[in-house]
Structure 1
Amino acid sequence: MKIVLLTSLSLIAFAGNSILCRLALGGEAIDAGTFTIVRLISGIAVLLLIHRLLTTDNQPKSSGSWKSAVMLFVYALGFSYAYVQMDTGTGALILFAAVQLTMITVSLLQGNRLTRLEALGAIIAFIGFVYLMLPGVTAPPMGSFFMMLAAGIAWGLYTLAGKGSTNPIQDTTFNFVRTLPLVLVLLLVTFSYSQLSTKGFILAVVSGGLASGVGYAVWYVALTGLSAIQAAVLQLLVPLLAALGGVLFADEIITSRLAVATGLILGGIGVVIGGRAKHG
């Protein structure tokens, strides 16, 4: 139940992050570079506070890794810049397809084979995801496509790195802290054409401090109880949750397409998790 609760909270945070990013970047309240900078610095501040409050002397010591920090920065940067010229459906499809394919490919290369039920569940969930997102998408600019593709691959690798964490709170905190040199370089490069409003700043702070900082820390804890395949497929819930958020907060209607996609995605995820449990 603990893993189920933590996974649910982290996926909700990811969906919330997508909504915050769309509100900030789509409304031109802030530029993509400044959004990334404020988002990461806010995440660092909140995580350092959480680390101070929750870390005890008898916990195993860990300080993240430069590899994970680079993957985190690449994800955040690519995600922000891709959404400047890409609609929401296209971006979500590319991002989470890349995440899933990256994690499953790495898992297979490491010798972890899919059971028949897991393979079937992954296919069902992905079909549901494509059914929800694909019909309304438009072809993105190639530059935006490759930035979102890079963001998805980076997030997949970052998630896989978290499965080996012995202290998720410390690792997440110091992964964020290690992005600071890259953040400073980005600040120098983008300062001359930065765009910032009060609304954009607030959205970036909430995105970084809560949806990213807290959400990613919770996700790293949840990963200790999930297989790589389960973690990959579960993240297909994020765009679905974002779509449901649109229904709740933007007066959008519940369509038959959304209802069918919900059944396919949740059913596929259930098959994947059940297949892994049955396998061992």
Structure 2
Amino acid sequence: MSKILVVAEHLDGKLNPSTARTVSAAQALNPEAIDVVVLAADPAAVAAEAAQVAGVSRVLTVANPANAQAIAQVLGPQVAKLAAGYSHVFGPSTTFGKDLMPVVAALLGVNQVSDLMAVEGEYTFKRPIYAGNAIVTVQAPAGHVVVATVRTASWPQAAGGNSAPVEAVQVEAALPSHTRYVGLAAGASDRPDLQSARRVVSGGRGVGSEENFQIVYKLADKLGAAVGASRAAVDAGYCPNEMQVGQTGKIIAPELYVAVGISGAIQHLTGIKDAGTIVAINKDPEAAIFEIADIGLVGDLFAILPELEAALG
């Protein structure tokens, strides 16, 4: 039977929803146990949240001032030490997981399985390739620890209501001195986080300018949605690159995705294909986005969006 260690992603004392999605992937293996490890300066609050995630057997906490910031080179040696006794080590395929898990895999001397989207067996998984146009089945070698990032858009968020025990552990690992935290540059926003939001409104090249992008923000605020953008909009300077959705941006799976002035390049469609309902607004009836949209509105976005806002009250 497999035993899985899930590395919790958290920020400012709050557990990221990506962790519950990673636990869902772990449950697909029907393992003997799923343990979640929280590495932080003070892990108590995050551990309490993790203990409520359904399917978690135990929450391990590693309290260390060095863990105050999510630095892969600092967390990696600790996770690698903790991996002893586990058959699998999972992390979310977010910026956090993509940074950390390759370090863990390298320290354990194994190849990483990236963007795990389906479980076929204890060592057999499916993952997307070629911008999601093909799905490949990969076989990890039995007898070695499987280190994987989980494509969170492909898995539901595990329910709450659990009360797993929390256990403090000590990890003796040599931490690097050449890597240190300098600062975090992030755009401040009162809107929901793009990767975990239930609703997302995104703007594309068709919005026309940074000033015109305000119309996208207004609709998002009416819907209580996060705001995203296509690569074309980001490259044109309409909005910052942390808002980019797609293969080279963020892979998301909201319940509602509204694409405004987005033509539908394959790289963008890769990032939204797991969304629940896709609404496309574009003046070009031949735009590729309409091929995957559940609801399509052909017309001038500058006329349609104010009408939608008025209808929303």
TM-score above 0.5, yes or no:
no
Give the TM-score of the pair, scaled to structure 1: 0.21
Specify which structure has the bigger relative contact order, considering alpha-carbon pairs within 8 angstroms and separated by 6 or more residues: 1
Greater helix share, structure number: 1
Greater strand share, structure number: 2
Give the TM-score of the pair, scaled to structure 2: 0.20
